[in-house]
A = this chain, B = another copy of it.
């Protein structure tokens, strides 16, 4: 096979073989519908409960506070729209940040069209939300604060414990999109006063198409998807048993090796950052240097555009992603990069590399060596670089 260095673990991860093995029996052997009476299928209900317990254990939650969904996007949609409905009598104001995932931002836009008001908080140049700004934005009609645990593009970890404390003090519900953070860094819902938390299986070496929403007992939101009585009547639809089993297994594995993995990834991450900063001119590290996901590296390279960069890297067997507009078919580059203050043309030239525990130091060296050349090559054909050089002279 062609050389392949996969550095896009924030986009999705490989489902680990142990997870697949755990799932397999639930396709062709224990395939029963957990709602059924007969023992053959009813046993699957217990299997699901077991996964709930595993996940709850990792979060410091109770198992009946975990509700399975089809992924992070559904969890985010559910948390926002159902809270908005359930608490409309109290108010119609929601606070979030400018760097949330589209699953949050587009749901907020949807709610805005339906009479809700949303405050989008600014972030600083490292992508940090200021807890004081959160506090200042709270109004008597504020019903929900939703700030992501860690950003998917620049890896910045937000001050969730402080924001949670503020939300709690003001009696406002607090949701966090932890799709990038859950099972990657420690999270305790009580310590952080988190009322709702979204997560997605395929971001933690679990399967795609499964995720969960943690809903603290007492939070009054109802279902988003209506139908059968599954998930304590809050999320209808025949349970995706193999998916749930896979998610539980992935969480179990991730939790068991979390500290070790973090240490390994942080060292490799910082090595990659250092080499790029030293060896490639006109670049900028995006995101906070310390308050950062262990596996996230994000750079902007001036004078070049991200999609070209990705294709050139791909030709060398390196999989990465970019905040360039061109990768999404829209014209504006990533809202996250704009929110941390990058000018458009610099935002266009950004590169995200997200490692995993299988990434080696050799991989990193190979990547930097190639990246140097590619950046130089793209600059040599860039009119922006031409102008810059002429101006310098």
Contacts and interface: CB of A to CB of B under 8 A. Distances in A.
Contact of A38 (B16, B33, B319): B319
B319 A36 contact: yes
Interface stretch (A57-65, A288-296, A308-316, A361-369): A308-316
Contact of A209 (B70, B202, B236, B314): B70
A227 B107 contact: yes
A158 interface: no
Given A40-B319, A73-B237, A226 B313 contact: no
B37 A226 contact: no
A329 interface: yes
Contacts of A106: 226-227, 236
A174 interface: no
A15 B27 contact: yes
A188 interface: no
- Copies of this polypeptide in the complex: 2
A155 interface: no
Given A31-B12, A71-B238, A209-B209, A39 B314 contact: yes
Contacts of A322: 37
Report, as a range, how many residues of chain A touch the other chain: 35 or more
A295 to B, nearest CB: 16
A70 B74 contact: yes
A37 B319 CA distance: 8
Contacts of A225: 73-74, 77
A389 to B, nearest CB: 28
A358 to B, nearest CB: 12
Contact of A35 (B11, B28, B210): B11
B11 A31 contact: no
A208 B27 CA distance: 8
Contacts of A208: 238-243
Contact of A74 (B107, B237, B327): B237
B20 A228 contact: no
8 contacts: A6-B32, A6-B40, A12-B31, A38-B318, A38-B319, A73-B228, A107-B226, A209-B240
Q: Which 7 A-B pairs have the closest CB atoms?
A: A209-B240, A70-B70, A103-B227, A73-B237, A38-B314, A15-B27, A106-B226
Given A20-B28, A38-B314, A70-B74, 7 more contacts: A8-B38, A11-B32, A37-B314, A37-B321, A40-B314, A70-B71, A207-B242
Interface of A: 4, 6, 8, 11-17, 19-20, 24, 27-28, 31-33, 35-41, 69-74, 76-77, 101-103, 106-107, 109-110, 200, 202, 207-210, 225-229, 236-243, 307, 310-311, 313-314, 318-322, 327-329
